[in-house]
Amino acid sequence: MDNCAEHGDFDVRLCSLLQDGLPIVSRPYASIAEAMGVAEEDAVRGAARLCDAGLIRSISGIFYGQALGYSTALVAAIVPTCRIDAAAAKVSAYPGVSHNYARMHKVNLWFTIAVPPGRSLEKTVGIIAREAGLEKYFLLPVVKAFKIEVKLPLAEGSGYNGKSERLAVRPAAPDPFGLGKSAAPAPTSEFEMSVVREIQEHIPPSKRPFLPIARRLGIQEDELLAAIGAMASSGRMRRLAAVLAHRRAGYKANGMGIWKIPERDIERVGTLLAADPRVTHCYARRGHLEWPYSIYTMVHAGGEKECLNIYSELASRAGRPEYDILFSVKEYAKRRPRYFVPDYEEWYALRESAQ
Q: Are 77 and 137 in contact (CB under 8 A)?
A: yes
Burial label, 305 (beta-carbon count in 10 A; 0-12, 13-18, 19+) = exposed
Residue 99 annotated as catalytic = yes
**Amino acid at position 171, single letter:** P
Q: Where are the beta strands (DSSP E) in the chain?
A: 56-63, 71-78, 97-103, 109-115, 136-140, 142-147, 237-244, 253-259, 279-285, 295-301, 323-334
Euclidean distance between CA atoms 236 and 168, whole angstroms: 24
**φ, ψ at 326 (rounded to 5°):** -110, 110
Give the separation between CA 265 and CA 85, rounded to whole angstroms: 38
Phi-psi bin for 235: left (phi > 0), alpha (psi -120 to 50), beta?
left
Residues 257, 324: contact at Cβ < 8 Å?
yes
Question: Can you give 159-179 as a three-state secondary structure string?
Answer: HHHCCHHHCCCCCCCCCCCCC
Residue 206 CB-density burial (10 A; 0-12 exposed, 13-18 middle, 19+ buried): middle
| CA atoms 326, 59, 233, 345: torsion sign | negative
Backbone conformation region of residue 261, classed left if phi is above 0, alpha if psi is from -120 to 50, else beta: beta
- Among candidate residues 99, 246, 281, 300, the one labeled active-site is 99
Active site positions, annotated: 99
